[in-house]
Amino acid sequence: MGTYIRTCAETRTTDGWQPIGYGAFPPAPLHDDSDDHEAPAYSEPFMYQDYGMFGLFADVRNYSQCQVLAEPRGFPDDISEEALRHLVPEVWQLESGWGWGEPPSASVAERIARSEASCYGYSWLSAAELTAFDYDQRFIDQRTTPPQETTYRAFLGERYFQHLDALKALSAKDEVRILFRFVG
């Protein structure tokens, strides 16, 4: 079983936040060159199972007791409709079946609650938060036996920094954020 993350990157435009198209980040393992899976419409940065990363992002499955960048803070109210439906498809499934017209207006949090999605830990991190973190600082990884001192760079591994490098390149010219939620 386990816990999994679903992600979407957005960039701020003159028309508000918009999802970043697929291909801006290294592909998720399911979206490699195989014919078994269709690539999503939007980029899914950091979308792989890594409890160390989950702990850093939102204190989810933080068995290593690493530093937490931000406790889950919900999706921002200015999330794009496309990103919301990508991350929580239950919202679209519920609202497209209202039958008598448009669903009543509600906040993003109310729409998610109304959809009865089985996910949790809805949150986001800005590119600035992710790139400003000192990954060379050391901490004691409590998940190892015995606990061992390591750097965040070694703890998170090469794949994490491939995604972070892509994020840095995007955020050099635009304001970017990563939206995510967990299941399992």
Long-range CB pairs of 100-107, under 8 A, 24+ apart, other chains included: 107/77
The tens digit of pLDDT for each residue in 98-120 reads 554 555 677 888 888 877 778 89
Which structural domain, as residue segments, surrounds residue 31? 4-183
Q: How many domains does the chain have?
A: 1
Q: How confident is the model at residue 70 (pLDDT cuts 50, 70, 90)?
A: very high
- Segment 70-79 shows an average pLDDT of 95
- Does residue 39 surpass a pLDDT of 80? no
For the beta carbon of residue 84, count every other beta carbon within 10 angstroms. 20
- Does residue 74 surpass a pLDDT of 90? yes
pTM for this prediction: 0.87
